[in-house]
Amino acid sequence: MIRADVTPHRRPTPLPALAALLTLLTVTAGLLWATPAAAAGVARAAGGPLRTAYSHVRTTVDGDVARTEVTQVFVNDLDTPVEVSFGFPLPADATVTGFAEWRDGRRVDAAATAKDAAEAAYDAAADRGERAALVGTEGDRFRMKLMAVPPRGSRRVALQYVQTLPALGGERTYVFPADDSTALPSLLDIEVRVGGDRPVLAAEAPNQPDARIDATAGDGRVVRLSRDREGLAHDLVVRWREPAEPLDLAVRAVGVPDGAGVVEARFAFNADPWPEIRAPRDVVIVLDASLSMAGAPLQRAVEAARKIVAGLDPADRFDVVLFSDSAAALGDDLMDADRANRALADAALDDLRARGRSDLQGALKLAGERLRDSQDGVLVLLTDGQPTASAGGDPFGLSVDLAAFARTRVVLGHFNYPGRDHDLRALFSDLQGRYVPDGPAGEAVVGELVALAVAPVIEDLSVEVDGAVFAVHGALPSRLPLGAHVRLVGRLDGPATVRVGGWLHGRRVDREVALDTPVADGRGDRGLQVEWARLRVAALQAEWQALDDDEPARAALANEIKDLGTRFSLATRFTSYVLTDSLAPDRIKPGDPEIRVHAPASAERVFAILPWGEVVEAAWADDEGLWLGRFLVPRGTPDGLYRARIFVVTQGESAYRGALFFRVDSQPPPFTLVVDREDGPVAGGDLLYVQAYPTEPRLGAEGTDRIDRDPLDLRRLTVRLGEQDYTLSRVGDAEVWEAWIPVDVPPGTHTLRMIATDWARNSVTAEAVVDVE
């Protein structure tokens, strides 16, 4: 039997600033070598993947914006130092907003800087043999290189990114892709908190029946999932519903101290207010049957195609284009969606098998020939977005006649990691994309694709923001189909009005919301400043890319992007992260928190994994006959009860032996001091009655059994009068402490000081004035 104990916890005490080894954390895209990367992040050395001791994902959703932090601890089990490559595929519309590393239990966050300077700093540190990291984004991927992980050592890193979530009819979805590697984490913890201005009506995690979903304050939801020695068998999909109007205009603004505020306007086409009106439409389904779609992706794509065809109205026209090594259409042109032609399409999908390469260009050519003259066309792409044939030397160098799709909506069912559809989104600027996850969650996405394929469209859409508003950014299409939304973010100096207009089924659509001048109220900006900066950087980078021959203009744009990346800590085309550790890290000292594990002395190794990912190695203590490890709590850790997991290694096998709990406490005990004396001074030599009790009662209202707080955490309670300390004693079971204090001080005015100290060594003082005759 193994028993694990922990000593009472206290906050680490900061040490004075000392000269320290200069360490650098920088970003680049050009020096990282590509490796197959798992969604949860895989660290690889030359000999293969490193062991992942701990993975933690924490996501906070506020309205349409999801902020995710992925923390990973990976361990080098070799006897030599290794250089590590780390990869993570970013979701669509995601921007890296931070990177951090832990040094001796202390989190050190990176700061953005110019990329060329960051690369030079990394190279110099690597040449000196110093610990360094090179971090950046490469298209849809986050990349990192660490120099170097010591033998039998570990590194803990954290990546932060922000993304905008799609919505359909008041339903939103967050996806964290499954880990496809063999290097599964020993421990995996995921937490997704969903909230915002509107209540969450219902939430589910359809792929993970063991996920726990709880309500939170403010009508939100929190989804928690923990796994030991196994990853996610399927993508983590969190789906929830919020109340929404069919034509929903939502506007919010926040004040910013010493600067212009930020306004966000979002107009969503959630439902058709006049569903009885339906115009005929032309639908072309392009389905990828290449080898990369083999298995579940092709099965789900065929399912989506069948349901789209089945949902067509007889007045509609359609065709189906299948492609692998080459592309072929079902009909010679668009066909009426009558029963016979729908049955023909169904039969063509019956025996479809994945094979060969991917001629996406040929398929788009056939689709364009059918939709060129359509006034209300819909192109449905069901693919993993990996063209490998008829595209020349560049697999994404597609030559597509976009004029053929001038009046066509493009709906994408994407069967690859979220975010790996950048090239298709660049080709079709108004594309409506849905990532189709694996597992049961994919079934609901198929339903969304069916709805989008036959969705009505708001024509001639306009969104105007009038008033003291400037630097407004965001895409504004002229046509908005059902399930899509428009989102604009700008700076605001005074009152403003947001107006939306357009035509739906020949009927006028008008919405309007007025805004007062936002005031900074101390509650923060809810991330809207970063959202504005992300959109502005995207617009500037697109403008920079379009200016091929104007070097002065490109230089001016690059400088502004660098400034935004530096101010808002964004990874951009021109900015990276650089980190220097100018202060000595905290050192573990006797008296810091201890983990004490009763395990055989013959064990090869005993270690604990703390909730924030740190691996604590224990050492055998002969004098106590147990394994002992010390650790620090990172600054900023919220107060509360935490769990650490204990592992014991014997004969090369690592076994989980249980958990221990400890409390992080930074608050002093709340106490009130009362001195019982008659009005006027007291005489020297008299006894003074002193009483102390908690400022906040523990029990609830009289006559109830409710407890409003934990049992009182008190180690010692003393009072000092003059140079003498006196200890107060508890009165029975009551939360009252008392003492009779001798007045052994000379005449005059004196201060009676109480000091209450808890087991975490937090203390509070209270004073009373005593006049002595």
DSSP secondary structure of 196-226 = SSS---EEE-TT-TT-EEEEETTTEEEEEEE
634-650 burial code (b ≥16 CB/10 A, e <16): beebeeeebebbbbbee
What integer best gives the mean pLDDT of the chain? 79
Asked if residue 84 lies in contact with residue 155, where contact means CB atoms within 8 angstroms, the answer is: yes
Q: Is 44 helix (H, G, I), strand (E, B) or coil?
A: strand
Q: Coil, helix or strand for 495?
A: strand
Mean pLDDT per segment of 10 residues, for the chain of length 773 residues? Answer: 29 28 25 31 64 85 90 81 77 84 75 82 77 75 77 83 82 80 67 90 90 87 84 85 90 83 90 87 94 90 94 93 94 94 94 89 94 92 74 57 90 78 78 84 85 87 90 87 88 91 93 85 74 90 84 91 89 76 35 74 86 80 81 70 82 77 74 75 85 68 46 77 86 80 88 82 83 87
Residues in CB range of 2: below 8 A, 6 or more apart: 597, 598, 599, 646, 648, 657, 658
The pLDDT value recorded for residue 17 is: 28
Q: What is the pLDDT of residue 366?
A: 96
pLDDT, position 506:
87
pLDDT value at position 141?
74
**Confidence at residue 445, expressed as pLDDT on a 0 to 100 scale:** 86
State the pLDDT at residue 626.
Answer: 83
Burial (0-12, 13-18, 19+ Cβ within 10 Å), 521: exposed
CB 136 within 8 A of CB 145: no
Q: Which of 247, 154, 172 is nearest to 512 (CA)?
A: 247
Position 521 scores a pLDDT of 63
**pLDDT score at 377:** 92
Indicate the burial class of 523 (C-beta count within 10 angstroms; 0-12, 13-18, 19 or more).
exposed
Q: What are phi and psi of 520, to 5 degrees?
A: -65, 120
For 312-341, how does the pLDDT look when each residue is reduced to its tens digit (9 = 90+)?
Answer: 999 999 999 999 999 999 999 999 999 999
Residue 3: per-residue pLDDT = 27
Instruction: State pLDDT tens for residues 564-598.
Output: 988 888 888 888 876 544 322 333 333 457 788 88
Helices (H), 410-486: 422-427, 441-453
Report the C-alpha gap between 595 and 627 in whole angstroms: 8
Q: Could you give the C-alpha distances from 415 to 288, 289, 292, 382, in angstroms and in order?
A: 10, 12, 10, 8
pLDDT computed for residue 591 by the predictor: 42
Four-CA torsion 525, 528, 529, 531, nearest 10 degrees: 160
Q: Using H for helix, E for strand and C for coil, what is the string for 218-285?
A: CCEEEEEEEEECCCCCCCEEEEEECCCCCEEEEEEEEEECCEEEEEEEEEEECCCCCCCCCCCCEEEE
pLDDT at 393: 42
The pLDDT value recorded for residue 46 is 63
